[in-house]
Structure 1
Amino acid sequence: MPVLTQAAGYLVVIGFGVFFSVGMILLSLFERKYLGQVETSESFSTANRALKSGIIASSIVSAWTWAATLLQSSSVAYDYGVSGPFWYASGATIQVLLFAILAIEVKKKAPNCHTFLEIIYLRYGKATHLVFLVFALLTNMIVTAMLLLGGSSVVSSLTGMSVEAACFLIPVGVIAYVTFGGLKATFITDYIHTAILFIIILFFGFVVYATSPLIGSPGKMFDLLSDASVLNPIKDNQDGSFLTMSSTQGLIFGIINIVGNFGTVFVDQAYFQRAIAASPKSALPGYLIGGLCWFSIPFFLATTLGLACAALESNPAFPYYPLRIPAADVSAGLAAPTAATALLGSNGAIAILILVFMAVTSAASAELIAVSSIFTYDVYRTYFKPQASGKDLIKFSHIAVVTFGCVMGVLAIILKAIGISLGYLYLLMGILVAPAVMPIALTLTWKKQNATAAISGAIGGLVCGLAAWLITASKYYGYVNLESTGGNYPMLAGNLASLVCSSIIAISISLMKPDDYDWSETKAMKPVDEAPTDLVIDGDDEATLTKASTIAYWASVVMTIVLIFLWPIPMYASKYVFTKGFFTGWVALGFTWAAVAAATATLLPLVETRHLFFGIVGWKGAHAKSEEGLSGGGGETAVADSVGGKFIASS
């Protein structure tokens, strides 16, 4: 029985959509009328390539916080105990950290590109471009499908609202504000969404670990989880305990999670879009800060609501006591909403509904603008109208946003109808898109990769991954259907085969006949609209990027080793089961990390634009000064780089 009324569901879905849409429309009109800002194809798709690290970090946090970040992370906490939140967080953080390397390479080697596919086209030609165009769009379709599957399931579960209606209505508001504001709109709404996400997550943390009469402290949570380990022991966990990192299924999930999320970062134009939009000095800190801030969201939320759901099953006051939540509901991502409702009633349901809606719409806006850029620059401009003007590209971008937004809803309904859940699609995504990861990474970092290697690696990896997935399901379960192919072992085999085989193929063929690309074509790319959007990398910028590249390699690799090996593996191998004191420290770490991340992601952009609030005596359209502020120079700081406007503060 839904906790909330259908009216509440429609109010959240439509009300917030209208709020953000109207806000962006009014901001756009204000800028055009009073600040003299003219929308160009460059500002629509790249935000003039001058955003600072704070807003880049906040945007990455928002774009990477999917419905799955909130729902699937809590589901694996419910299924595998404390290892689930850790493996979800670490297994999806390292990709953003490592992507900092590609972000720097994009700024160095193609400072005026609009998409990563443009680089592939110039380097390898039409055939390779078309192959990776398919992988890129497939990635965007999978991500948006997961967003809507998770979001609509929660809305329907809590309010009784039709799943079909939720799938169609959730994208409507996003379509409106992205159409009016472009990439700038996604950054503004990303910032607002990030602030709301952290507020609600910290609120749930206070409730579960401080005020709830059902739990109320880490010690009480420990006691309930200890009881739950006896009532509902977890298979393949040390002593069946929820309180151990020694979880075989948790480790398997972690590996699948790592592989899959390489695909949905390295093959997703949304992350390249943020690298393109960043100023040369801001790309590296933006991605490193964003990745570390994001870690806290699934780690702490799942350690809060996912574990609470499992803990409450040993409490007679819990609605499901003494049974577990149906597996289908867990796969649909309903562990977190169930816990929130049990702890806070309708207030908890409203909070989780807003939380999920913020995650779905912010990530959806990133996907919409990414797909719009791909269709505009890699389909329309490349194959249909190479001499298209800026106005032509803006018009087509608007059409692409609206079209893909509608397709999103239809796709989600189709997947729901054939029985594919959020959890199933999350595990499957790596098999389908990870084969493109290594060829794309080598395109930007290794001059020896050739076109044949890139194509063969992507297609060969996909074939190997699909074969390993289906063969393992057949051998392990004896049959092939949705249930068997959704098992951890078939998914593990398929994900690993996709990524490993594609890497071996791409590297081997390149070594047989190495290329020697010099990047002159990509460096010579020009923006569609005339200067000042033309980003020229001068000597100072070149030195900054070279230094940033070195730091990116070392910092991202070291943090990856810590998060994937040095931290979890000794805990897994030792078969350690948490004591009450250790669990209390584990919770305190998560809470502190979330609080620091919240402060960083919300305050850093404001600090960077502090002159907007201190000393503004007017706003001017002084574009030259704006650009100076955007790139981080001078005593006058332009607010435009964080909020997309043309505000200039007097020093």
Structure 2
Amino acid sequence: MSNAVDTTKLALIPQGAAYGLLIGLSVLFCGVILIAVKIQKAYLAEDSGKSEMFMVANRSVGKGLCASAVFSSWMWINETVLCAAMTYRYGLAVPLWWGSGLCFQIALMAALGVMAKIRVPYAHTSLEVVRMRYGKIGHLVFIVLNLVNNVFGCASMIMTGSQLIHGVSGMHYVAATILVPIGVVLYTAVGGLKATFLTDFLHTAIALILIIYFTIAILTNSAIGGLGGLWEKVMAAAGDNLIPGNYQGSLLTFKSKEAIIWGLILKFGNLALVVMDTAFWQKSFATEVKATVPGYNIAALAVFGIPWGLGTVIGLATRAIHDTPIFPTYPGVLTATEVSSGMVMPYTIKALIGDKGIVGFFILLFMALTSTVSSSMIAVSSILSYDIYKTYFNPKVTDKQLVRVSHLTVVIHGVFITGISIALNYGGANMTWIGYLRPIISCPGIIPMILTLFWSRQTRLAAIVAPVLGFFTGLTVWLTTTHSMYGHINITTTTNNYPALYAAIASFFSPAIYSVVLSLYKPYKFDWRIFLRIELSDQAEIASSDASTLDASEKDEGSGLKSITGSVKHVSNSLPESISSDLERVERPSEKEHTTAVVRKSVDEISLNDIQHPFDEATLKELYRWLKIAWYMFAAIVLITFVAWPLPLYRDYIFTKSFFAGWVVVAIFWQFAAFGAVVIFPLYDGWRDIETGARGIWKTSKKYLGGGKQN
């Protein structure tokens, strides 16, 4: 394979140890999540056997756990392993551009999440919103866009991980590709979305501890000599490490053409991975009203520091020692294939920290992989079960059946992405090529998706056609530009910056033009109240189910209805009389199917003037305030990280020793701040649930032990 790293002469960790770590970590996390699910159900009244809990965690997630989960879902291998490789390739400008290319999408998602709560307060997936607005064809188009984005993104991460595992241990690609998703499939299928929130927290805590450890351990190693020593060694080897396109060829300048182009491509691709990933929408649906904006923005600020500190230290440290006897490949050179495959980081960790460092790297790799895979599995499972199975194959599916289908689709998705990952491996793809292809296939749906919530005049035709035209526009630009510049098209020629950048721009912006033109061709204004029919339909079905259950509705009036304590009206109180009268006729379970059909028909036929928003005025006012805050935060993050901070540094300047030292120190402080924000703060924010669960376990243990003594 063209992407293979030769491990016949070099294995950083024995294969047996690699198998043991991979299987052992999978089993450990399965056990942890199974225990967590039991505790949730027994002491916190959270049953993952219910579809509402499985898909959107009962919309009860607080800002601390939300921040941790979003951070974990966005802590891909790229911002740790590949960032170090690209810093090695282009210099210290890369990590800052990388950080800015990670945080603004999450800040944007905070605004989109709040608007979704306002427009469609009880949606389960973003595609459910699309179906309500654009009908069956629009729904199917966006299903394809979302599935391609989720499957491709997830499979590319598994492919990248398997290449790294192969490079580190010599384990076969196929074995690594199969073992990575297995444990995730098991705990995701059992625990659902809330389970992924809990495992995301564990992933985040362990990964951040390792990231901070690697950064400081490498920097303080005697072979590096601290901040001053790193600067001196990079400067001393400057003549042997000239970087084309950098000011004076220096690694220590922010003026780097290749770095800024890479940063722009990354921004487009990452924007698609957030907006077009159902998982990030589901996390916003799962949060409490007051938690969406703080949770997402905490994660946005925290994630900035990860590539900045780690990428800078490891990428430059590799340049300082890559031609010295302590480096694993010495006297051989670090090849372009090894750099593209992400081997910069494990080689440097092996050289400076040793075997314990490689074990830590393996654990970090597992954390980054499984957090991505678990998030993708819930997203794809929700699409397959809710948006496809329930919508088109079995509209009368019961809650229990829907959860069963969700479990099955998790397994199906795990098998499918494993196959795709193996195909990508044998096709010769690597992290760099994937990074260039991803914006082209994922960007076309971004603007039409955003306009679905913000522009009432985007028509059905525009929403359907614009993304398709945008994809073909981007693909055409990529291939024609590659052929024009390099004479032929293959993996090597398409792994170049300029064609990928032009294609990403075309894929992102052209759908906006297509959408506006097509919308103006046959103007139409959408009534936002139509979105509220999603909730009315859900509530009517729940009420229908309750009415057919042996006096359940008489014993506990409204027990089946969703609410948000203290801030939301019961939607049952606002159901139009036409639906209420239909529900009153339900007396026997045998009539349930007929009633469900009547209810759906009634919901679709009721006047929009009769529909009331499920949130009260105070809650809506608060949501609009949060929306304003979200937009302010988004604007501030974009202006600071895109303009005010990096652009003044883009000049004829090489970092001095003191400036470089301050630069790295701030980056390390940011790592510690991130740890406090997404590890310590969630514990503080969720202490009541932790206390309740611990008290329940203690009481149960005492009862069990007491019973044992009596016997």
Match of 1:77 among 87, 102, 118: 87
Q: Describe the superposition over 1:604-630 as per-residue Cα deviations: whole angstroms up to 9, x where unpaired.
A: 11111223566889449xxxxxxxxxx
Who is 2:303 aligned against? 294
- The answer as to 2:258 corresponding to 1:249 is yes
Contact kept in structure 2, 1:61 and 1:291, CA below 8 Å:
yes
CA distance in 1, matches of 2:241, 2:402: 57
Match of 1:557 among 635, 639, 653: 635
Match of 2:496 among 474, 478, 487: 487
CA distance in 1, matches of 2:338, 2:694: 55
Alignment of 1:456-605 (within 5 A): 456-526=465-535, 527=538, 531-534=560-563, 536-572=614-650, 574-605=651-682
Q: Aligned AA for 2:174?
A: E
Who is 2:114 aligned against? 104
**How high is the TM-score relative to the length of structure 1?**
0.92
Contact kept in structure 2, 1:224 and 1:315, CA below 8 Å:
no
Q: Aligned AA for 1:61?
A: F
Who is 2:570 aligned against? none
Who is 1:339 aligned against? 348
**What is the CA distance between 1:387 and its match in structure 2?**
1.8
Contact kept in structure 2, 1:68 and 1:150, CA below 8 Å:
no
Q: Aligned AA for 2:562?
A: T
Match of 1:412 among 413, 421, 424: 421
CA distance in 1, matches of 2:338, 2:153: 20
Contact kept in structure 1, 2:46 and 2:53, CA below 8 Å:
no
Contact kept in structure 1, 2:39 and 2:693, CA below 8 Å:
no
Who is 2:135 aligned against? 125
Q: Aligned AA for 2:80?
A: L
CA distance in 2, matches of 1:478, 1:148: 32
Who is 2:595 aligned against? none
Alignment of 1:334-413 (within 5 A): 334-413=343-422
Q: In structure 2, do the counterparts of structure 1 residues 616 and 9 end up closer, same or farther at CA, with 3 Å as the change threshold? A: closer
Contact kept in structure 1, 2:215 and 2:310, CA below 8 Å:
yes
Q: In structure 2, do the counterparts of structure 1 residues 377 and 581 end up closer, same or farther at CA, with 3 Å as the change threshold? A: same
Q: Secondary structure at the match of 1:500?
A: helix
Alignment of 1:446-461 (within 5 A): 446-461=455-470
Q: In structure 2, do the counterparts of structure 1 residues 34 and 544 end up closer, same or farther at CA, with 3 Å as the change threshold? A: closer
Q: Aligned AA for 1:591?
A: I
Q: Aligned AA for 2:653?
A: Y
CA distance in 2, matches of 1:351, 1:529: 48
**What is the CA distance between 1:101 and its match in structure 2?**
1.1
Q: Describe the superposition over 1:542-572 as per-residue Cα deviations: whole angstroms up to 9, x where unpaired.
A: 1111001111112111211211122112211
- The answer as to 2:233 corresponding to 1:224 is yes
Contact kept in structure 2, 1:265 and 1:271, CA below 8 Å:
yes
Q: Describe the superposition over 1:143-176 as per-residue Cα deviations: whole angstroms up to 9, x where unpaired.
A: 1112111211221122221111110011000001
Q: Aligned AA for 1:139?
A: N
Identify which range, 517-526 or 270-279, moves more after superposition: 517-526
Q: Extract unaligned runs of 5+ from structure 2.
A: 1-9, 544-559, 565-613, 698-711
**What is the CA distance between 1:228 and its match in structure 2?**
3.3
CA distance in 2, matches of 1:79, 1:497: 26
Q: Percent identity?
A: 35
CA distance in 1, matches of 2:56, 2:44: 19
Q: In structure 2, do the counterparts of structure 1 residues 101 and 511 end up closer, same or farther at CA, with 3 Å as the change threshold? A: farther
Q: Secondary structure at the match of 1:387?
A: coil
Alignment of 1:162-311 (within 5 A): 162-210=172-220, 212-311=221-320
Identify which range, 533-542 or 493-502, moves more after superposition: 533-542
Q: Aligned AA for 1:545?
A: L
CA distance in 1, matches of 2:282, 2:237: 45
Q: Aligned AA for 1:553?
A: W
Who is 2:169 aligned against? 159
Contact kept in structure 1, 2:93 and 2:255, CA below 8 Å:
yes
Q: Extract unaligned runs of 5+ from structure 1.
A: 621-651
Q: Aligned AA for 1:346?
A: D
**What is the CA distance between 1:126 and its match in structure 2?**
0.9
CA distance in 2, matches of 1:103, 1:298: 25
Contact kept in structure 2, 1:231 and 1:314, CA below 8 Å:
no
CA distance in 2, matches of 1:614, 1:398: 30
Contact kept in structure 2, 1:208 and 1:216, CA below 8 Å:
no
CA distance in 2, matches of 1:424, 1:619: 51
CA distance in 1, matches of 2:136, 2:694: 52
Q: Describe the superposition over 1:227-259 as per-residue Cα deviations: whole angstroms up to 9, x where unpaired.
A: 332102111000111111100000110110111
Identify which range, 360-369 or 602-611, moves more after superposition: 602-611
Q: Secondary structure at the match of 2:237?
A: helix
Q: Secondary structure at the match of 1:125?
A: helix
**What is the CA distance between 1:313 and its match in structure 2?**
2.4
Q: In structure 2, do the counterparts of structure 1 residues 464 and 122 end up closer, same or farther at CA, with 3 Å as the change threshold? A: same
Q: Describe the superposition over 1:397-446 as per-residue Cα deviations: whole angstroms up to 9, x where unpaired.
A: 00100010111111111100010112211221000110110000111111
Q: Aligned AA for 1:59?
A: A
CA distance in 1, matches of 2:289, 2:225: 47
CA distance in 2, matches of 1:192, 1:31: 16
Q: In structure 2, do the counterparts of structure 1 residues 321 and 616 end up closer, same or farther at CA, with 3 Å as the change threshold? A: closer
Q: In structure 2, do the counterparts of structure 1 residues 614 and 385 end up closer, same or farther at CA, with 3 Å as the change threshold? A: closer
Match of 1:428 among 437, 442, 447: 437
CA distance in 2, matches of 1:7, 1:354: 15
Q: Describe the superposition over 1:519-542 as per-residue Cα deviations: whole angstroms up to 9, x where unpaired.
A: 212223234756343554222211
CA distance in 2, matches of 1:475, 1:113: 46
Q: In structure 2, do the counterparts of structure 1 residues 587 and 505 end up closer, same or farther at CA, with 3 Å as the change threshold? A: same
Q: Secondary structure at the match of 2:289?
A: coil
**What is the CA distance between 1:216 and its match in structure 2?**
3.2
Q: Describe the superposition over 1:309-334 as per-residue Cα deviations: whole angstroms up to 9, x where unpaired.
A: 12222545334457641111111111
**What is the CA distance between 1:18 and its match in structure 2?**
0.5
Q: In structure 2, do the counterparts of structure 1 residues 605 and 525 end up closer, same or farther at CA, with 3 Å as the change threshold? A: same
Q: In structure 2, do the counterparts of structure 1 residues 316 and 159 end up closer, same or farther at CA, with 3 Å as the change threshold? A: closer
CA distance in 2, matches of 1:593, 1:37: 35
CA distance in 2, matches of 1:477, 1:135: 30
**What is the CA distance between 1:26 and its match in structure 2?**
2.6
CA distance in 2, matches of 1:513, 1:499: 23
CA distance in 2, matches of 1:515, 1:217: 63
**How high is the TM-score relative to the length of structure 2?**
0.84
Work out which of the two has the higher radius of gyration on C-alpha atoms and give 1 or 2. 2
Contact kept in structure 1, 2:166 and 2:172, CA below 8 Å:
yes
Q: In structure 2, do the counterparts of structure 1 residues 546 and 107 end up closer, same or farther at CA, with 3 Å as the change threshold? A: same
Who is 1:623 aligned against? none
Q: Describe the superposition over 1:199-236 as per-residue Cα deviations: whole angstroms up to 9, x where unpaired.
A: 001101211222x1111311111112213321021110
Contact kept in structure 1, 2:241 and 2:251, CA below 8 Å:
no
Match of 2:65 among 55, 58, 68: 55
The list of structure 1 runs, each at least 4 consecutive aligned residues, that deviate by more than 6 angstroms after superposition, is none
Contact kept in structure 1, 2:218 and 2:349, CA below 8 Å:
no
Q: In structure 2, do the counterparts of structure 1 residues 36 and 284 end up closer, same or farther at CA, with 3 Å as the change threshold? A: closer
Who is 1:91 aligned against? 101
Contact kept in structure 2, 1:340 and 1:349, CA below 8 Å:
yes
CA distance in 1, matches of 2:622, 2:266: 33
Number of aligned positions between the proteins: 618
Contact kept in structure 2, 1:449 and 1:515, CA below 8 Å:
yes
